[in-house]
Amino acid sequence: MSTTPPLKDLIVCPNCDAIYHVAEPKFGERAVCQRCHTVLIAPRRRAGAQIIAVALAVFILVLAAAVTPFLSIEAGGARNSVSVLDAALIFSGGPLVLVSLGTVAMILFIPLLRVLLVIYVLFPVVADRPPAKHAAWAFSLSEALRPWSMAEIFAIGCAVALIKVADLAQIAFGPAFWMFCVLTVLVVVQDSFLCRWSVWKSLETAK
């Protein structure tokens, strides 16, 4: 075995185990695994502050979208409009209550929790302070919850529901539907700004 460089200068691709010498990219560049094309490092200038700003916007939008109606229906004089909370609480009674708990979790609680975790982790980093207590744990949890945050799928669900009952009654989008559409874009933007390698590195060096 020839000489191995210091381990701290190396990076391993989590998806294919290829090992590289870290050649830290400049802002806006990306370091991509040559074997499986996973993006390993993608730093951005002022990414932390931008992510926090987007996270705050997401937080407000989720709260507002939870209580304002996203669809309203009218047929033969009867009228009904529903918010996400109404929709999530419809499966009351019996085992179907699990569906409502899951729905509320995936479209409200998990997105909100992720926002709080991301702000908690990134704020000290941006403010040049030592990392918050248990920041590594908080960031791990936020990453683990990512696939379970489903606000964007709910937005498409609204559109499908609208077309599904279009011939049964007159239905229209409420303000919360448009909030969910904006939310979908913001979540994508937030994820593309976040360079996980940079976050882990900043949590480590400041320790």
Partner 1 sequence: MQVVGLEIPRNGKVVTAREIGVVGCQRCTKVWPLGTKRCTRCGATIVSRDHKALQRVWAWWIVGLLCYIPANLYPMLQTRTLVSVQQDTIVGGVVTLINHGSYGIALVIFLASVMIPVGKFLAIAFLALAAQRGTTSPSSQRMGLYEIVEYIGRWSMIDVFVVAILSSLVQLNALAAVNPGPAALFFGLSVIFTMLSAQSFDARLIWDAERS
Rule CB under 8 A: choose which of 64, 90, 116, 188 binds partner 1.
Answer: 90
Going across the sheet that includes 78-83, the strands are: 78-83, 69-75, 170-173
Residues 39, 42: Cα–Cα separation, whole Å: 7
Does position 75 interact with partner 1 (CB under 8 A)? The reply is yes
As measured in angstroms, the least distance from the Cβ of 126 to Zn ion is 22
Binding-residue pattern over the window 4 to 43 for partner 1, x denoting contact by CB under 8 A:
xx-xx-xxxxxxxxxxxxxx-xx-xxxxxxxxx---x---
Q: Where are the beta strands (DSSP E) in 36-182?
A: 39-41, 69-75, 78-83, 170-173
Does position 132 interact with partner 1 (CB under 8 A)? The reply is no
As measured in angstroms, the least distance from the Cβ of 3 to partner 1 is 10
Binders in 15-44 for Zn ion, by CB under 5 A: 15-16, 18, 33, 35-36, 38
CB 89 within 8 A of CB 97: no
Contacts of 84 (CB under 8 A, 6+ apart): 65, 66, 67, 70, 104, 107, 108, 154, 176
As measured in angstroms, the least distance from the Cβ of 202 to partner 1 is 11
Q: Which is nearer to partner 1, 56 or 107 (CB)?
A: 107
